[in-house]
Amino acid sequence: MARFIFITGGVVSSLGKGLMAASLGALLQARGYRVRIRKFDPYLNVDPGTMSPYQHGEVYVTDDGAETDLDLGHYERFTGVASRQSDNITSGRIYQQIITRERRGDYLGATVQVIPHVTDAIKSFALAETDDLDFVLCEIGGTVGDIESLPFIEAIRQLKNELGRGNSISIHVTLVPFIAAAGELKTKPTQHSVRELASLGVQPDVLVCRSERPLPEGEKAKIALFCNVPKEAVISALDAKSIYAVPLQYHGEGLDAEVLKAFGLPVGAAPDLGRWDDIVDRIVNPEGEVTVGVVGKYVGLPDAYKSLNEALVHGGIANRVKVNIRWIDAELFEQADSDIAASLEPLNAILVPGAFGERGAEGKIASIRFARERRVPYFGICFGMQMACVEAARNLAGIAGASSTEFGPTPEPVVGLITEWMGSDGLEKREQGGDLGGTMRLGAYQAKLAGNSHVAGIYGAGEISERHRHRYEVNTAYKERLEETGLAFTGMSPDGALPEIVERPEHPWFVGVQFHPELKSKPFAPHPLFASFIEAAVRQSRLV
């Protein structure tokens, strides 16, 4: 039977619950345990798929096509365990399921209530597909005291009773602020947060205290006394030099040992954290550095490109270099007085990421043209591949009106809406003007690579599987004319209907992909495309 670890947060948001959960999962893995991490999101959206990146940050996509919270990306990157649809639930999805059942008459005329119907649904989600696991870590989003999270707190209260002694614990992540004027760390917010959680029936077994400065032993003892936990279970969590140093830092503070003690399990020998030592060493002691410009639409919020940011770091780890990311607003290049060359010349590589909508598209096209003409390594992801094809059509194939139907009606739809494609369950169809949520080409799909292509050499394979999230595809009616410009279609869907990869063989490094390779990159297994891209950036830096 799996043991459950329920993770809550208090005082303020953005304390790093997701990173703590991911790090603890990695530490338990290093001790030989099988783990899975899940996220409970209290918001009423069914999933984050239709939310603005400025509201929610990145939408992380799983192999089975779920649009999920970005914390699932942390879980995968730290544990290597592929997330699934069943690993992220929202209040919206729970209420949608319950109301659907009520309309069908499944409740046999009963009054539908938060208790037991909503809490039972939450518990069912937590317990599903856990038979082959040793630990299930369940992170509850938001902050204790939020109205939205109350059904989730009640559900874990019930679960702790139903699972029985020794089969579940609670970890509470809280803030111990430093008041500079007083020169003191203040424990009162933590005390109040724990009291709020305990008033809802959940007593924490371990406290993770985020602070700017180390917690003195006296402050730990004070927190332990007033929060009713052992002093050893008060874990200090300071800012780390890299997020990949966090597992080592938590291990040094004894988090994994205290969790095992709380379950009554033997602590045993220290886990082998050699791969994390190596990752941190490569980050802290690079042998060089490169600068990559990301020409995007949501650059005001780096969390909108969280997996992309981390995949570039992983590419640096693979090449033992520091990757400096320069976030560039694509709209700046659409202004009449913009100097594109001045902005892009200092870069060792250029990347155009995925996006939706027309805003910034012309700036991205201008950046792609610069990379092509100046022979700067270029990586186009999803929208970045589509705009690379539009750029080639306009500037090399003589198709002046080349555009995407995403921007409105166009006489030259080089990029168009896909209305049907072959999925794992057969033919999938979508309609123009249909619902936005969950209607894209989502999840893992196979692609076949041309045998003599650059990308086949990078992957070392002729067939790949990558994750998708898009509604528009490059129109194969233009394939021949684009190939005449030197743009090679080196990756196609197995049925040959959908372009997956384009490249320029004569260019030092020019690759566009329809999928999102950043979603599968990990620090201990950098994605081959990102490793190769950063390698090309290193070569470019030596030419300057």
**pLDDT per residue as tens digits for the range 494-518:** 999 999 999 999 999 999 999 999 9
Q: Any catalytic annotation for residue 518? A: yes
> Based on the domain organization, do 524 and 382 belong to the same domain?
yes
Same domain, 264 and 325: no
Question: Percentage of the chain surpassing pLDDT 70?
Answer: 96
CA 57 to chain centre: 9
CA distance 144 to 208: 14
Q: What is the pLDDT of residues 247-274, one digit of tens each?
A: 999 999 999 999 999 999 999 898 999 9
Say yes or no: 325 and 190 in one domain.
no
Q: Which of 382, 406, 470, 473 is catalytic?
A: 382
Q: Last residue of a domain, which of 278, 308, 327?
A: 278
CATH number at residue 67: 3.40.50.300
Identify the domain containing residue 160 by its residue range.
3-278
Q: For residues 159 and 115, state if they share a domain.
A: yes
3-state secondary structure 249-303: HHHHHCHHHHHHHHCCCCCCCCCCCHHHHHHHHHHHCCCCEEEEEEEECCCCCHH
Tell me the pLDDT tens digit for each residue of 93-147.
Answer: 999 999 999 999 998 989 999 999 999 999 999 999 998 999 999 999 999 989 9
Q: CB neighbours (10 Å) of residue 132?
A: 8
DSSP for 24-48, please give it.
HHHHHHHTT--EEEEEEE-SSSSSG
- What domain count does the chain have? 2
- CATH at residue 438: 3.40.50.880
396 and 517, same domain (yes or no) = yes
Query: At a CB cut-off of 8 Å and minimum separation 6, what does 20 contact?
Result: 7, 171, 173, 208, 237, 246, 250
Same structural domain, 130 and 220: yes
pLDDT in tens, 178-192: 888 888 889 999 999
Q: Please write the tens of the pLDDT for every residue from 281-327.
A: 999 999 999 999 999 988 888 788 999 999 999 999 999 999 999 99
- 502: β partners: 489, 512
The last residue of a domain, from among 278, 308, 333: 278
Same structural domain, 270 and 296: no
Q: How many helices (H) and strands (E) does the chain have?
A: 18, 25
- Is 314 tagged catalytic? no
Total-model pTM: 0.93
- The length of the chain is 544
Structure confidence at residue 421 as a pLDDT band (50, 70, 90): very low
For CA atoms 177, 178, 179, 185, the dihedral sign is positive
Same domain, 251 and 312: no
Answer yes or no: 516 catalytic.
yes
Of 195, 180, 256, the C-alpha closest to 229 is 195
Distance CA 471, CA 432 (A): 10
Lowest pLDDT segment from 196-200, 343-347, 426-430:
426-430
Residues 266 and 132 in one domain: yes
| Beta-sheet strands, E only, within 297-360 | 322-329, 349-352
Catalytic residue among 138, 518, 527, 535: 518
Answer yes or no: are the C-beta atoms of 341 and 94 closer than 8 Å: no
Residue 139 shares a structural domain with residue 190: yes
C-alpha 489/C-alpha 512 separation (Å) is 10
Give yes or no: residues 351 and 315 share one domain: yes
Residue 448 pairs in a beta bridge with 463, 492
Picking from 254, 278, 302, the residue at the C-terminal end of a domain is: 278
Q: Which helix (H) or strand (E) holds 173?
A: strand 168-175
- State whether 325 and 350 are in the same domain: yes
- Is residue 69 a contact partner of residue 294, using CB atoms and an 8 Å limit? no
